[in-house]
Structure 1
């Protein structure tokens, strides 16, 4: 497995919120400094003066949403960026505590206190709602053009149960519901706010567990056999669409392990010295790892080619 090592940090503090390599280039959310489109070498191709903590990418990769807001403030302000024409269009603001990492081009999935919804990006109107029971709270969701999955917690008297729901898109037909408090569900509830359980859009559950005193990573697909792999160190789970990664803090660096889409097997890693945290995004078959101080590594998950390794901003 190839491990790509980033350079030493060039800045201190939080320079960027998210980064993801797209067909149009490397898109970077830089908080109040706006959104940048860079070449894989770091040359600036475009800059939009709109604030962004996060990025939501259209399924076809030709546009993105600059997302300004987060769970703590329960409100979002968005701008839509056309990556072809470079035009910026404001999106009606909304109240939520989570927004989808991707969108279908016209609507965005959001998490609110009364369920999982899709909103029209032009009017702000709700198009559909799921999991709107008062006894459930939506904790995370992932989507692609064809699948949508969510993890929620459900109150049952004094107890909590974790559930994973998966739907077909765009029909919203339920494909599967899985509730389990003995393995992944129990780990999900106990670990909050640490993320050691994730569900990809296609319904695969990936989680860290302790079995016979040993740390393991478990992969439970919607169909087919489960996989258990030993872990050499504690890890958190990151999910984007149908992809997942392991995030690990080592003594002198942060490590992001990329995995293939099919069986979530490790295919490469990004190592960032002199930091404790690194993060993960994915589009198509390209994975991007980054740190808040502006170091970015991107890898093709099929060829294992290094597509970017730079310090920016």
Structure 2
């Protein structure tokens, strides 16, 4: 059977599809071995549908807070054996369990339970599972041990079928609500505030709320400015509050141009600028800006702003 070359995509086409920079795809290929499996005549790099499915899994894990190296390892271990089904192949309204062998699903019973509750759109069950994990393990461990695997599994279902958007949205809402329940520290260790914001036009704010909860557990008070924070609004917040640290999240290449960061106003003493998310073009970050690859690293970077010099 002849190979369907029409299904193969160029680096640029895949970058546009995923909303990342082409240089990011080349870095993932060079550093982690997740790249195109075929080359067309003239040595042009071409991505098969299976290659794209792997990239979607890796991107989903990174967006959920996993470090890129860990996301790549899991993706390679759990990559689908066949290309994803074409869009339009729905779930038929049936509840699909996220725990059957061969699907590369979360190994823990707790994660499987949350995944089943999410697929059933069972808000009380999801809320109980997330609250239990947060209370027992804390925000960082609950995020990486529970939220990330389940969001990744839902993302895999979406990549294969085009469905589950409502599942992801509802689970994200539940996660955000539970993270907001983590109480702020009674006596914060930071006299200067921490500002948490999404880049202008960036609508995905769940990782920012996860960071706020993790910082609260570390004794740091933070103010969440939320999604789609214009440059002028963030600059005004910096002038008004004199923060010790500012964190900015970008999820897609469309919102990850770092040029505007250099125009943020200064403060005395200076604040620590930390950015996170796969959208950033890291080569253009201003001098002194730190890039946090995951939730634990973001907490450490913010904590360092208030530690010994």
TM-score (normalizing by structure 1): 0.31
Q: Kindly indicate which of the two structures has a greater share of residues assigned to strand.
A: 1
Rg larger for? 2
Q: Kindly indicate which of the two structures has a greater share of residues assigned to helix.
A: 2
